[in-house]
Amino acid sequence: MNQPRLSKRLETIINHIDSRVLADIGTDHGYTPVIACECSKARYGIACDISRGSLQKAEIFIRSRNLSDRVETRLGYGFDPIRPGEADTAVISGMGGMLILDIIRKGLELVKGLNRLILGPQRDLPALREGLFELGILMKDEDLLLDGKQFYHILICEPGTPEPMTPEGRLFGQALIDKADPILRLYLLKLVERNARICKQAENKVLLEETRLAENILKQKGWA
């Protein structure tokens, strides 16, 4: 049976899974729970989505992989279809950071009972990081990927008490800064270049501050 071609983002998410029961929130085609079970990263998967159409696509994929006994689909918003204590790991990926934050807020009691929460936001990273901190969710690690010309962030959250957040950590990810992630260097250089182009047209105080903090990190790490 041929394995579907995995994007770097999905491959990274799968590598972070080590689960008894995995809940994939906003599953779409159901790739994450199916591949996690096939790779022995999860024993059982629950594919959740608010869209019946997405769940129908997921069910077709699940059957095509002969995994109907290990992956099931459930209809509902966020964590609503998951019973407390049922899943030990959850993935929320492929949507905006503010939507992810809303899902977490509404399912916070269940989220705080997980061993691991893996997030793949498409935008609004600073607001998501700040919101996670305010909710008392520890961002244990973060990966930054470059796939083609697109950067993708993967946040790994685990039980624990978050440290106070710095402005740099909010904008760029404290874990990435602490481990001097080489992709972060590329990200910051491109950000500084982009902001300079924008600010040539019209001064923007928010972008100027973002640039200042990015340049500070580049100098501190010897990346400038």
* 204, 205, 207, 213: CA torsion to nearest 10: 160
215 in Cβ contact with 168 (< 8 Å)? no
Give 44-92 pLDDT, tens digit per residue.
999 999 999 999 999 999 999 999 999 999 999 999 999 999 999 999 9
Per the domain annotation, does 168 fall within a domain? no
How does residue 1 score in pLDDT terms, banded at 50, 70 and 90? Answer: low
Q: In total, how many domains does the chain have?
A: 2
Beta bridge partners of 21: 44
Q: Tell me the whole-structure pTM to 2 decimals.
A: 0.95
- Domain range for 219 is 180-224
Same domain assignment for residues 72 and 107 = yes
Mean pLDDT, range 175-199, rounded to an integer: 96
**Phi-psi category of 24—alpha, beta or left, where left has phi over 0 and alpha has psi -120 to 50?**
beta
Q: What is the mean pLDDT of residues 158-173?
A: 95
Give the other-Cβ count within 10 Å of 106's Cβ: 14
Q: What are the φ and ψ backbone dihedral angles of 116, each rounded to 5 degrees?
A: -155, 140
- pLDDT tens, residue by residue, 32-43: 999 999 999 999
pLDDT of residue 4: 64
- Provide CB contacts within 8 A for 148, sequence distance 6+: none
Q: Are residues 210 and 141 in the same domain?
A: no
The string of pLDDT tens digits covering residues 98-150 is: 999 999 999 999 999 999 999 999 999 999 999 999 999 999 999 999 998 89
100 plus 193 within the same structural domain: no
Residues 97 and 155 in one domain: yes
